[in-house]
Amino acid sequence: MEDVQEQQSQSLGQDGENEIVIENAASVHGEPPQDANGPPKVDSKEEILQDKVKKQIIKEGHGPIPSKYSTCFLHYRAWTESTQHKFEDTWDEQRPLEMILGKEKKEMTGLAIGVSSMKAGERALLHVGWELGYGKEGNFSFPNVPPSADILYEVELIGFDETKEGKARGDMTVEERIGAADRRKMDGNALFKEEKLEEAMQQYEMAIAYMGDDFMFQLFGKYRDMALAVKNPCHLNMAASLIKLKRYEEAIGQCTVVLTEDENNVKALFRRAKARAELGQTDAAREDFLKARKFAPQDKAIARELRLLAEHDKAVYQKQKEIYKGIFGPTPDPKPKRTNWLIIAWQWLLSLFYSIFRREKRKAE
């Protein structure tokens, strides 16, 4: 395994501080967010934050909690408590919410109270009364929330920036946003090297949040190139972390985002192929490896992975062959045919009569 890691370090990951080296070893096992079919079942103690806001911790966070006017980045799902109807999910949209505490929307007051009690990386279930949610009238556009509906939020605080005046992304210049994202990326790289993968991913996700679709859509020329030089490595570093955490489906998603912008990105192809191979998607993995090899024909790591896939296919074929052999049993030896002397005698007589007939015919001529 060490030789694979060494080869990958030489060819597919060593970009200094821009991008993380991916390795095969995985000693940390992270958990993806809870199933989206319904609110999570939580056994932890209920904490009363305010009269209409209660919290149960699903996963502990780290560090301090945000102060007023902090710019918080979070993912959340929301259900009406009585009907269990899910009306919002930022994980599905792959777009974290930016919330400035003290400047949040009125209908998110209860959510903001919960977030203000959370540490970076913390995931919690919030019970919010209708008075601090969408109110007595509810909301009949998007999201669709009925009147006087108590709300359940599953929230994960990705991280936050402490700012005195609560400067939102939309108020920053292009250079400020790219610079803020780059600092987050650098922090993520440092945490990755310390094997703090969950914390590293929080930094990468915050960096990506600064480079949102609405922002990228407005950029062109050198500014777009500058933004992609920060954004794409963050997605690739997220993929590297997710592979180490054995969260292969999510890793594939991160690589695919990069390939949407740069369809020939060798590292994205390689890491997506690795994740697909781990999921048993060998044909798709081979396709990605072969495409990566077109752009990096001398890369030893790609060649080795293709060789491992070939060996895997051969082993599967042999195993299937043995299984089928066990089902149907060995091929039976052909039984020797019995000699039918009556037929042999009849054939000999016919031959004799034919010989006599031909001899008599010649005499007559």
More confident residue, 230 or 339: 230
Torsion of CA 35, 36, 38, 41, to 10 degrees: 30
Of the residues 269, 284, 314, the one at which a domain ends = 314
Number of Cβ within 10 Å of residue 238's Cβ equals 29
pLDDT of 252 strictly over 80: yes
Quick one: pLDDT at residue 5?
38
Picking from 113, 141, 161, the residue at the C-terminal end of a domain is 161
Structure tokens, 167: 């400067």
Contact present, 216 and 169 (Cβ < 8 Å)? no
The model's pLDDT over 200-215, given as tens digits with 9 standing for 90+, comes to: 998 998 898 888 777 8
Domain membership flag for residue 363: no
Same domain as 24, residue 64: no
Q: What is the CATH number of the domain that holds 177?
A: 1.25.40.10
C-alpha closest to that of 76 among 128, 140, 28: 128
* pLDDT of res. 358: 73
Same domain, 154 and 217: no
25 and 84 share one domain = no
Q: Is 37 part of any domain?
A: no
In a domain, 291, yes or no: yes
Residue 274 lies in a domain: yes
Does 148 lie in the same domain as 253? no
pLDDT at 49 > cutoff 70? yes
Q: Mark which of 111, 142, 161 sits at the end of a domain.
A: 161
Q: What is the pLDDT of residues 311-364, one digit of tens each?
A: 888 877 777 777 766 666 565 666 665 666 777 777 777 777 777 777 776 766
The rounded distance, in Å, linking the Cα atoms of 240 and 271 is: 7
* Residue 175: domain span: 2-30+170-314
Q: How many domains does the chain have?
A: 2
> Are 187 and 279 within one domain?
yes
We report the CATH number of the domain holding residue 154 as 3.10.50.40
Question: Both 288 and 192 in a single domain?
Answer: yes
The CB density around residue 234, as the number of other CB atoms within 10 Å, is: 31
pLDDT digits (tens, 9 = 90+) for 147-202: 999 999 999 999 888 765 456 777 788 888 898 899 989 999 999 999 999 889 98
Q: Is the pLDDT of residue 1 over 50?
A: no
110 lies in the same domain as 226: no
Name residue 74's beta-bridge partners. Answer: 97, 157
In the chain, which residue ranges form alpha helices assigned H by DSSP? 2-8, 90-93, 109-115, 174-193, 197-210, 213-218, 221-244, 248-261, 266-278, 282-295, 300-328, 341-364
Residues 181 and 54 in one domain: no
Across the chain, mean pLDDT equals: 83
Same domain, 183 and 265: yes
Shared-domain flag, residues 232 and 300: yes
